[in-house]
Structure 1
Amino acid sequence: MNGLQRWAEQARWSREPVAAAPDAGGALIVEAVEGSDWWRDTAYSFRHDNGHALLTEWPLDTAVEVDFDLTGFTGEFDQAGLMIWADEAHWIKAGVEHSDGHQQLGAVVTVGASDWSTGRVDDWVGTTVTVRASRIADAVVIRARASHDPSWRLVRVARFPHETALIGPMLCAPMRAGFSVRFVDWRVTEADVELHAEPTE
């Protein structure tokens, strides 16, 4: 049983997906409901709070990592990665999203209202992507990398002064039906020592 399977036994879906089942290799295949997403107010003047995240408590002084295959992201705003949840007005989602014809690595940080930072990672298509969240003082540090490159990329540093939070793999399909993600693994690891040093293996 891999880390994802062990962890999934104690986690709960924020919203049940169309389907979620292990494959022969132990990965979790999840299909999103059409119209699922998280966003709060900014620029679009709407609130979406019906995405899919398999959430469990996030222990202090730890980091978490989720691995997923970057394949099949073809619909506008197809997305997967991880969700950090304090409450409906305070949360962070980070991962890869298909937007404007490209694969975009980014994060949405919501403190009352949402913001969005993003950058293209088209060369990551066909790889396994790892998204990592770590607590440092009153902040969450988001990093990511693809299986063809061991170097971590800094995605976001966001203030997060919440001792109690939930965390887990997430996916959304705002614009279409039939979007599935293969989540390969999930780990709780040691927290980052400092912001300007890559995590140790």
Structure 2
Amino acid sequence: WMNKPDKWKQKGDDIKVTVPEETDFWRGTLHGFTKDDAPFYWMFADNDFETRLTIKGKFKYLYDQAGLMLRIDAENWVKLGICHYRDQLYVSCCFTRGKSDWSTHRLPITKIDKFHVWAKRKGEVIDCYYSLDNENWIHIRQGYFSDKPRIRVGMMCAAPESAGFKVTFSDFMIKN
């Protein structure tokens, strides 16, 4: 763990987390603040790989979020997942290379049971996908990341504007 939460448990392939309040991963853009204090459960991945994750949560307040994170250090990371924004659910993708950027796409539904994300790394490029049914994948972003051969990959969750929420991660995999 990086920023291990006080409340979490693992049962089989499921990891359940109570997301700590006012936590986030963000660097500088627009609002000028930097946060690097949200939970991140990770393992190493080398060279080219793909990673998938299923997310189930009670996303209720502004910026409640959970998803995949690919990370080198505090200034170089990618997060891909689901985010509650403007009373809607959005696919959210953020590439940080010194400063954070943010891409969103509003989902066509207001409630969701499970949300699936998939990231593929080839060289220094990351391709990002999401699915509502774990079968039909929608490509939402491609971006430059890094050619560093070994990075940390795993599950992240944050509650920047709320008192926290509960999320369950399942079906996490990394494949070279």
TM-score normalised to structure 2 length: 0.92
Q: Which amino acid aligns with 2:100?
A: S
Q: Is contact 2:97-2:145 (8 Å) kept?
A: no
Specify the SS of the correspondent of 2:136.
Answer: strand
* Structure of larger gyration radius: 1
Q: Give the structure 2 partner of residue 16 of structure 1.
A: 4
Q: Is contact 1:124-1:146 (8 Å) kept?
A: no
Q: Give the structure 2 partner of residue 38 of structure 1.
A: 25
- Deviation digits for residues 69-115 of structure 1 (CA, Å, limit 9, x no counterpart): 1x410011100001111111111111010011110102111111110
Q: Is contact 2:47-2:123 (8 Å) kept?
A: no
> Which structure: greater helix fraction?
1
User: 2:128, 2:81 → 1: CA distance?
Assistant: 9
When the two chains are superposed, the root-mean-square deviation of aligned CA atoms in Å is: 1.6
Q: Is contact 1:139-1:160 (8 Å) kept?
A: yes
User: 2:162, 2:46 → 1: CA distance?
Assistant: 35
Q: Which moved more, 1:78-87 or 1:134-143?
A: 134-143
Looking at both structures, which has the greater relative contact order when contacts are Cα pairs under 8 Å and sequence separation is at least 6? 2
Q: Give the structure 1 partner of residue 105 of structure 2.
A: 119
- Deviation digits for residues 20-66 of structure 1 (CA, Å, limit 9, x no counterpart): 1135x752210111011011001001001111110110122221111
* Unaligned 5+ runs, structure 1: 1-12, 191-201
Q: Which amino acid aligns with 2:52?
A: E
* Unaligned 5+ runs, structure 2: none
Q: Is contact 2:88-2:110 (8 Å) kept?
A: no
The answer to whether residue 125 in structure 2 is matched with residue 139 in structure 1 is yes
Q: Is contact 2:48-2:123 (8 Å) kept?
A: no
The answer to whether residue 140 in structure 2 is matched with residue 152 in structure 1 is no
Give the number of equivalent residue pairs: 175
Specify which of 57, 68, 71 is matched with residue 82 of structure 1: 68
Identity %: 27
Equivalent residues in 2 for 1:182-193, closer than 5 Å: 182-189=168-175
Q: Give the structure 1 partner of residue 54 of structure 2.
A: 67
The answer to whether residue 79 in structure 2 is matched with residue 103 in structure 1 is no
Q: Give the structure 2 partner of residue 199 of structure 1.
A: none
Q: Is contact 2:47-2:122 (8 Å) kept?
A: no
- Deviation digits for residues 114-157 of structure 1 (CA, Å, limit 9, x no counterpart): 1000011142732321111111232011111112x621111211
Q: Which amino acid aligns with 1:109?
A: F
Q: Report the Cα offset of residue 68 of structure 1.
A: 1.1
